[in-house]
Amino acid sequence: MTTLKRVALHETHVSLGAKIIPFAGFEMPVRYSSDIEEHNTVRNGVGVFDVSHMGEFMISGSKALELVQKVSSNDAFKLTDGKIQYACLPNDQGGIVDDMLVYRFSETEYMLVVNASNIDKDWAWISQQNAQIGAEMQNISDNLSLFAVQGVKAVEALQGLTDTDLSKITYYSFEKGSFAGVPDVIISATGYTGAGGFELYVPNEHAQTLWNKLFEHGKKWDIKPIGLGARDTLRLEMGYCLYGNDINDRTSPLEAGLGWITKFTKNFVNSENLKAQKERGLSQKLVGFEMIDRGIPRQHYEIKNASGEKIGEVTSGTQSPTLKKGIGMGYVKSEYAGENTEIFIDIRNTLIKAQVIKLPFLKPTV
């Protein structure tokens, strides 16, 4: 049995009454009070997620861009200093090793932010791709804490803690600056909620200071800690993919609707085959759907047509706390992927009517 890792502020979460669950090799806070309350805090106010389990790799040196371009599906050549890209790490079998964020600090320094569950796999994969390239690589995952301060009130709740003008940091940009007295915090206008806000990367030794300041200063905005449970419902309302659910080693980035970050303006791992797949046409597609009749879709439920034939499978599903109805994503045969197509979810051997909709389920507030 492998031992679970703990985030730097583990004891803080326990003392806040969090329910702790094993997640991606870590003991993580899934909920402090209620999933729905925490979800609504982010949609209507501001909340803080400790997502320090996420992995961070630094890629640097004169070969850095060459390596990033080889492993990333997106075109990092388009990045300028202080900008961020969402991207996939395609494998050579047509699937996805992981999804990630690519930060450009300079022409010779990039940071890749990857899923906790994939840190070891990603590191091995990128190292293998780097064998012929020789960029410098450093895994700094264990040194960094990451707090996602998310919500419509995040900017106003945070501005008093830094001299950096937060309103000037546009979505998918970042700055390095002093934050709550802590030097060199990476202040990144990203998140996984669609509610706006910032992700703050901070060395572990300053994590407690930063967390405490966030809550002292944020009191006026009724800032709350938010668990991974709400993180999942928030991301699903936005139609964001979750690795391990909606994308994995066997799913094509094109079928997953990630064509917008799969750029054939350059070569990358498996780009020839993906390009050929695009030209051939896709046999299945990841779609969003909402329940017409009452029911809650869940991962692995079968998707069927009106005749009861299987046409796909649910990859993520929940009761949307905002819309108060069942929503989900899943792969369906391409002929069923059109907007407003009537589909059925097989819930405990009953076919419950649903409808394909254009993602996201909710309009983002960023």
Partner 1 sequence: MQVPQNLKYTKEHEWVRLEGDIAVVGITDFAQGELGDIVYVDINSVGNSLSANEVFGTVEAVKTVSDLFMPLSGEVLEVNAALNNNPEKVNADAYGEGWLVKIKISNKAEYDQLLDSAAYASITGN
Interface residues toward partner 1, by CB under 8 A: 30-31, 34-36, 229, 232-233, 294-296, 298, 318-319, 321, 348
Q: Which of 194, 186, 190 is nearest to 162 (CA)?
A: 186
Find tokens 């994308």 and name the residue: 247
The smaller minimum CB distance to partner 1, of residues 90 and 326, is found at 326
Identify the burial level of 163 via C-beta atoms within 10 angstroms of its C-beta, where 0-12 means exposed, 13-18 middle and 19 or more buried: exposed
- Whichever of 193 and 277 has its CB closer to partner 1, that residue is 193
Distance separating alpha carbons of residues 299 and 297, to the nearest angstrom: 7
Rounded to whole angstroms, how far apart are CA atoms 151 and 316? Answer: 23
Residue 73 Cα distances to 53, 83, 264, 297, 345, angstroms: 24, 16, 8, 30, 32
For β-strands 326-333 and 284-291, DSSP reports them as: antiparallel
φ/ψ (deg, to 5) at 210: -65, -45
CB-wise, 225 or 295, nearer to partner 1?
A: 295
In the complex, least distance from residue 9 CB atom to partner 1, rounded to whole angstroms: 22
From the CB of 319, what's the least distance to partner 1, in Å?
4
Kindly state the smallest distance separating residue 347's Cβ from partner 1, in Å.
Answer: 8
Q: How far is the CB of 346 from partner 1 (least distance, A)?
A: 14
Contacts of residue 217, Cβ cutoff 8 Å, sequence gap at least 6: 157, 158, 160, 161, 180
Nearer to partner 1, 56 or 237 (CB): 237
Compute the least distance from the CB of residue 361 to partner 1, in Å: 15
- By C-beta, is 280 or 324 nearer to partner 1? 324
Find the shortest distance in angstroms from Cβ 35 to partner 1. 4
The residue among 39 and 206 lying less far from partner 1, judged by its C-beta, is: 39
